[in-house]
Structure 1
């Protein structure tokens, strides 16, 4: 005996459209939650108008994504509402059920992609920030080791290895920053006792972004101030 399959309806009825509309409106509320979260961050960090403009310029892709999501969800809710009106008026100008299913199926996917990208970007920024803080800590530790060596030995270390022999704890920082790209030398300035050159973001010595430190610069104090600032944030 052949099983009879009920023909698929071309359009949703009015009750189904109302249910679908409520589901779609939930995503609109989620969009407003994104915007409210940004407002909460601005309030919590007491950002000035210039800070907000700078943050928007840096995160313009995220801002654009929120606007796109809000536009999509608003238009979809409006389209479904208009289809509900058409169903009440028994109008022939209706959206097919297949079209509506496709549109609402995409909705949670684009929200998931947005949230996943935001979280991944946040984690990447946090890891990069932590890595940079470790480099700052390492530079401060190397400067302290150089100063201790100078006090005890009355001269600057002739090599990285000689400095390590007196301060083994800095080995991990040399490995982190790149031992072959750190230069310790006497300063040409009579007032300064030494010059330490650290590589900049390109990881190479002899480029414009090199970081030059002398005894007049207290890296330990600067690092502690940066760490205190981050804790305060």
Structure 2
């Protein structure tokens, strides 16, 4: 008895193409779910048109990625449908099964990469936002400590270390912001007038992004308002 080798098929039959097309349509629906989720976020957070424009500008890569995904999935579904029509017409202009397999194999991987990048970026943004809030909280706490020191000692602290000794809870905030870069200075001869300079994102004093606070600015109230707005969101 001789072994008979079955010749590999170069094209999918009509039934297989219909199954593959349904699979491709699933990813189209997933693309629409991404867009719907974005719309739900806009609605839930009651974002204004300016907020939407700002968010789109910051997340433009994600917007482009969703457009690319939708275009790829729509095109793939269309190509499979046209190949199904060609199979019904017994046309010789058919796509190779290898090409279709390669295209549908890439589909889930593209979506997986998109989701991983989106989740990673979202977590990074959330952590950055939390870190910024902690810095705002720390600046407010340091200002309160300066006020308490001024009221009790009738003068401003001569150094960060002296202020820290009187208010030990500020240590964590000095370490977070950068103790060596914080400046506490008197703006006039009276001790109730002072200026606190915090380093900006670059962590250095003497650059354009420095943050200056005077006695007329209540950082605690500003922080509480910011915190309340975050809760409302």
Q: CA deviation at 1:48?
A: 2.2
Q: Which residue does 2:55 correspond to in 1?
A: 55
5+ long unaligned stretches in structure 1: none
Unaligned stretches of 5+ residues in structure 2: none
- Could you report, residue by residue, the CA deviation over 1:25-54 in whole angstroms, capped at 9, with x for unpaired residues? 000000111111111112112222222222
Q: 1:128 to 1:12 in 2, by over 3 A?
A: same
For the 8 Å contact 1:135–1:177, the answer to whether it is kept is yes
Name the SS of the counterpart of 1:129 in structure 2: helix
State the TM-score, normalized to the length of structure 1.
Answer: 0.96
TM-score between the two structures when normalised by the length of structure 2: 0.96
Runs of 4+ in 1 over 6 A off after TM superposition: none
Distance in 2 separating the partners of 1:115 and 1:200 = 32
Q: How far off its partner does 1:159 sit? A: 0.7
| Structure 1 residues 121 and 3: CA distance shift in structure 2, 3 A | farther
8 Å contact 1:192–1:216 — kept in the other structure? no
Counterpart mapping for 1:65-104 below 5 A: 65-104=65-104
**Are the aligned partners of 2:181 and 2:203 in contact in 1 as well (CA < 8 Å)?**
yes
**Number of positions where the alignment pairs a residue of Structure 1 with one of Structure 2:** 233
> How much has 1:189 moved relative to structure 2?
7.9
Is 1:169 paired with 2:169? Answer: yes
Secondary structure of the equivalent of 1:92? Answer: coil
Deviations along 1:42-73, one digit per CA (max 9) or x if unpaired, are 21122222222222222111111111100000
Cα RMSD (Å) of the superposition?
A: 1.6
